[in-house]
Amino acid sequence: MNWDMCDGTYILMLRLIRMQHLTDSIKKSITNKNWYSAIATALTIPDICSKISDGTKTTGKKYAQWFDDYVGKNYRTNYSEGQLAMVRKHSTEEDYQNLLKGTKLSGNDCYALRCAFLHEGTGTISTQKAREILDEIKFLEPSFGLNLHGSIQNNKLILHIDEFSYHIIDGVDKWLIQLNTEQTERLKSFLKVNDVFDFVKETK
């Protein structure tokens, strides 16, 4: 038996368990159609993960970098010259110029959304300092046939709540695999809601 492999699998399982209360919270919110809870928790994940990664206070720059590294690939664009020409013809010049940047949702714009939503309850990011490309992000309920996720019109990005949330969760899974021993140890500092009877037992 390869004991190194067993140890590696065990450590990865510990990491998954320590993040599971957060990722499960997002999944349950989607199942229960608690959309705002799903969005809020998903938007805090890059803050939490970037803090765990280097052990110091998280920043907008660290948040954006984490998003670009672990989630950003889901929003990268690869339009042909013909497609770009159609956008330029039928949409705004700003939409066209933004598509040339190669992403529909950058880490900076996601951080701007995080600030706008958590502090102001809005999806408008045009006044946020971190804003890079977009003016606004609109969320839609899960689609059962008509999928508009990733559509951009007049510099406004449309996201389906479930797809965005699961992209964040997938990013967490990729990030967990890369943690070292010191970073894994920091996962123990998470706030966790305990069962009241288990709590009483532990304090006796």
Domain count along the chain? 1
Element (H, E) at 125: none
pLDDT score of 9: 60
Q: Give this prediction's pTM.
A: 0.84
What residue type is assigned to position 52 of the chain?
I
Q: What beta strand segments (E) does 56-197 contain? A: 136-140, 152-153, 156-160
Domain that holds residue 161: 3-203
Read off the pLDDT of each residue in 34-46 and give the average, rounded to a whole number. Answer: 98
pLDDT at residue 192, as a whole number: 79
pLDDT at 111 over 90: yes
Res. 83: pLDDT tops 90:
no
Which are the contacts of 33, defined by CB distance < 8 A and separation ≥ 6? 141
Confidence band (pLDDT; 50, 70, 90) for 5?
very low
pLDDT score for 167: 98
Q: What percent of the chain has pLDDT over 90?
A: 56
- Asked if pLDDT for residue 43 goes beyond 80, the answer is yes
- Model confidence at 4, pLDDT cuts 50, 70, 90, reads very low
pLDDT of residue 90: 84
Q: At what angle do helices 107-120 and 60-70 cross, to 10 degrees?
A: 120
Q: Which residues contact 69 (CB under 8 A, 6 or more apart)?
A: 175
pLDDT recorded at residue 16: 62
- Phi/psi region, residue 137 (left: phi>0; alpha: psi -120 to 50; beta: rest), is beta
Q: Which amino acid is at 1?
A: M
Side by side, which strands form the sheet with 136-140?
136-140, 156-160, 152-153
Whole-angstrom distance, CA of residue 33 vs CA of residue 30: 5
Average pLDDT, integer, range 12-19: 67
Judge whether 121 and 140 are in contact, CB under 8 Å: no
Averaged pLDDT, 106-124: 98
**pLDDT on residue 11:** 59
Dihedral pair phi/psi, residue 153, rounded to 5°? -145, 125
Residue 12: per-residue pLDDT? 58
pLDDT tens figures, 122-162: 999 999 999 999 999 999 999 888 899 999 888 899 999 99
What pLDDT sits at residue 96?
A: 80
pLDDT of residue 2: 40
| pLDDT at res. 137 | 98
Longest CA–CA span in the chain (Å) reads 71
Q: The tokens 């890059």 sit on which residue?
A: 46
Structure tokens that stand for 148 in this block: 């508009």
Cβ(90)–Cβ(82) under 8 Å?
no
> Measured between alpha carbons, how far is 123 from 9 in angstroms, rounded to an integer?
39
